């Protein structure tokens, strides 16, 4: 007789209790209150600070309104500096016919070009040395290089004048060039140092492995990679030196004088409308040069000059 195992009775799985539908947010008074609170908080974070905007507007008005007045009255047909009548290029024509101002303009351009070339040569060498030197002396030199940037320019101008006087050097165009070169080296070094630090040193080492000398690797590999930053530094230094007044005032001779110093000497006897025209031309030229210096690296697919200045 064969015994079959007893079959277990089939049990149905217990049915789960049905979940109550979640109450809608809008139908619950608590949910509606939380939504209104969150909306108020969101509006509070997105609310514009009116006081900060007002202070910013007043600041820019005080900063740029006088410049706007100078530009406006440079096109005045009358000699008046308070009443504007008609638009005219009379004072621009008078500037280009003034031999004294043209001589000063020529000197400013000469000083700017020489200072640009001298600061580039020394700045590139200093930036390479600061990046490649890994000793305490290099770190100390990097800190000393920043001193001209944080020192008031009037202190630098007085120090340069006392140095030239103490060495028996007569103040002239040459002293202005030396002072501007010394002052501009720091700007070139800061821009180029960040770019050199971002270069891959293995590229230069590979060039030397292929038979190039260290000088050839620097000339054929490193300097072409630095060309956009060098060009941006050159334009920026030219703009800074061309507009500089404090350092040029303390280191210039009697004649000829830089254009900025000549303008200061002229306004002591009263502001002439021609000065408004000169100031407008200098403003436009400086803005154009600085904008060109900031965006030249982007034309080569590199970081902008503003990022280089900030070290980003």
The tens digit of pLDDT for each residue in 20-44 reads 555 554 445 555 556 666 555 555 5
Kindly give, in sequence order, each residue whose CB lies less than 8 Å from that of residue 85, ignoring residues fewer than 6 positions away: 76, 77, 78
Q: Measuring CA to CA, which residue among 188, 270, 271 is closest to residue 233? A: 188
Contact 115, 177 (CB under 8 A): yes
* 113: number of Cβ within 10 Å: 15
pLDDT tens track for 153-210: 889 899 999 999 999 888 888 999 999 998 899 889 888 888 888 887 778 788 888 8
Structure tokens at 194: 């960040």
Calpha distance 168→311 (Å, rounded): 40
pLDDT at 2 over 80: no
Q: Measuring CA to CA, which residue among 239, 206, 242 is closest to residue 221? A: 206
Q: How many helices (H) and strands (E) does the chain have?
A: 15, 0
Lowest mean pLDDT among 37-46, 104-113, 150-159, 214-223: 37-46
Average pLDDT for 80-98: 84
Q: What is the CA radius of gyration of the chain?
A: 34
DSSP-H helix ranges across 50-152: 50-73, 90-96, 99-132, 136-145, 147-150
- The predicted pLDDT at position 7 comes to 47
pLDDT tens track for 55-76: 888 888 888 888 888 888 888 8
- The predicted pLDDT at position 129 comes to 83
Calpha distance 289→309 (Å, rounded): 15
- The predicted pLDDT at position 308 comes to 46
Point out which residues pair with 76 in neighbouring strands: 87
Calpha distance 42→37 (Å, rounded): 9
pTM, two decimal places: 0.69
Q: What is the DSSP letter of 271?
A: -
Contact 120, 233 (CB under 8 A): yes
Structure tokens at 154: 């009037």
């Amino acid at each position: 007789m064969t015994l079959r195992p007893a079959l277990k009775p089939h049990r149905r799985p217990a049915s789960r209790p049905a979940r109550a539908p979640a109450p809608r947010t809008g139908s619950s008074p608590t949910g509606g209150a939380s939504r209104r609170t969150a909306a108020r908080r969101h509006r509070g974070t997105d609310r514009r600070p009116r006081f900060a905007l007002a202070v910013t507007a007043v600041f820019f008005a005080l900063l740029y309104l006088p410049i706007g007045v100078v530009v406006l009255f440079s096109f005045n047909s009358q000699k008046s500096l308070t009443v504007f009548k008609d638009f005219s290029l009379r004072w621009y024509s008078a500037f280009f016919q003034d031999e004294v101002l043209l001589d000063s303009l020529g000197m400013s351009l000469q000083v700017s070009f020489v200072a640009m070339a001298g600061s580039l040569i020394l700045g590139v060498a200093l930036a390479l040395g600061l990046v490649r030197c890994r000793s305490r002396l290099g770190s100390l030199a990097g800190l000393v290089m920043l001193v001209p940037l944080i020192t008031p320019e009037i202190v630098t101008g007085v120090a340069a004048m006392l140095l030239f006087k103490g060495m028996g050097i007569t103040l002239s165009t040459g002293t202005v060039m030396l002072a501007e070169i010394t002052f501009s080296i720091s700007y070139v070094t800061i821009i180029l140092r960040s770019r050199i630090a971002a270069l891959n040193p293995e590229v230069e080492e590979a060039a030397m492995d292929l038979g190039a000398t260290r000088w050839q690797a620097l000339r054929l590999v490193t300097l072409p990679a630095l060309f956009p930053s060098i060009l941006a530094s050159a334009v920026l230094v030219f703009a800074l030196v061309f507009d500089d007044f404090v350092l040029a005032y303390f280191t210039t001779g009697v004649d000829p004088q830089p254009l900025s110093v000549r303008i200061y000497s002229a306004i002591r006897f009263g502001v002439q409308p021609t000065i408004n025209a000169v100031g407008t031309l200098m403003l436009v030229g400086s803005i154009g040069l600085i904008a060109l210096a900031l965006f030249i690296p982007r034309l080569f697919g590199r970081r902008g000059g503003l990022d280089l200045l900030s070290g980003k």
